[in-house]
Structure 1
């Protein structure tokens, strides 16, 4: 595992096999391969690969520490926007770029409302992550955006319900929500909903 990622995790890797190099790197490689298989060799693959490169460590950090560092989240916004803008220029598809920006704003606002209404249910980083995922999901279309948002909520609720049923958590136990959002987004990207 690289030095910057190890510093971001700020935990002893040997104590957490989930983020060990033997799992971390292959998980990212599999995700890159699945994205290439699903999307083909188009310019937008660069943006989705960058998203995967950010989301895998974010999910690992959130699972281990129940936080997602803004050091990873905030730089991902302009990086993805630039890569999607490049794809829009090359493909002559300004509508996709506008849709991506609207999707980013809509998913950000949607999760912000949830965070404000259900106090303590999710943190500011979850809301930031939702906006980033909205940018990527909406590029593929409104159906993909809706599917990713719904699946993220479903996965989060399912994990919470299972943990409560197994008495590993209560209704008041904080559960990392970032991995569910990420899993929902990549499920929507990889399964043909369009």
Structure 2
């Protein structure tokens, strides 16, 4: 059974403060992304996106969501890794939607950074089984996406595989159920996006659609909803 997650009960002003801070950082991030400095010679893309303001809206919403979900959980130690991932998500969604690539320069450094923050969060929680579960979900999701990319390289790239490990780490720290919801939600969101783009004639049946944004959307869906096994 899937239910709406229980928030941390943090004060509303904390959530609002995080939203404002997210909007400010998102605006700076959007202006940087609008310069398209991430593009490389092999990228095939048209004019770069110029709507620098939407990362501000997105990050404001994501930081508010993360604040509501975690707040002072584990002595506030659980908040930083999810705030960092939310900021990373904004950049990855923009870049993948533009050039269909998830840059190693963003994804790979996130592994040690998020791992350190998750270890700190685990220490604050005082339950080291959460770290073991997180690492197991990292490995499991990475392996699954690796197999899927090997079987269907036209649908998933290796950038998606590398991103899957980060998602597995963060969702697995909360629970295996969250990792399952995030995995399933990614494919549901991806399917819905494909249908909308096909109906709107934005793509054809053989067009490649960036899957990174769907994976990220699925991860945040898993922060809102929880999966419970019924006995």
Normalising by structure 1, report the TM-score: 0.90
How many angstroms does 1:129 deviate by?
0.6
Distance 1:79 1:144 in 2: 21
Q: Which runs of 5+ in 2 are unaligned?
A: 1-27, 41-46
1:87 and 2:141 are equivalent in the alignment: no
Structure 1 or 2: more helix by fraction? 1
CA RMSD after TM alignment: 2.0
Give per-residue Cα distances to partners, 1:51-87, cap 9 Å, x unaligned: 1111110011111111111100000011111001011
Q: Runs in 1 of length 4+ with deviation above 6 angstroms?
A: none
Match of 1:16 in 2: 49
Contact 2:181 2:226 in 1 (8 A): no
1:28 and 2:59 are equivalent in the alignment: yes
Q: Which runs of 5+ in 1 are unaligned?
A: none
How many angstroms does 1:25 deviate by?
2.2
Task: Map 1:33-182 to 2 at 5 A.
Answer: 33-41=64-72, 42-182=76-216
Normalising by structure 2, report the TM-score: 0.76
Contact 1:100 1:138 in 2 (8 A): yes
Structure 1 or 2, whichever has the larger Rg, is 2
Contact 1:35 1:190 in 2 (8 A): no
1:121 aligned counterpart, secondary structure: coil
Contact 1:17 1:23 in 2 (8 A): no
Q: 1:176 to 1:80 in 2, by over 3 A?
A: same
Give per-residue Cα distances to partners, 1:2-55, cap 9 Å, x unaligned: 5865464449xx95244x1x2212311221111101222231111101111111
Q: 1:155 to 1:167 in 2, by over 3 A?
A: same
Q: 1:15 to 1:131 in 2, by over 3 A?
A: closer
Q: Tell me the number of residue pairs that the alignment of Structure 1 and Structure 2 aligns.
A: 190
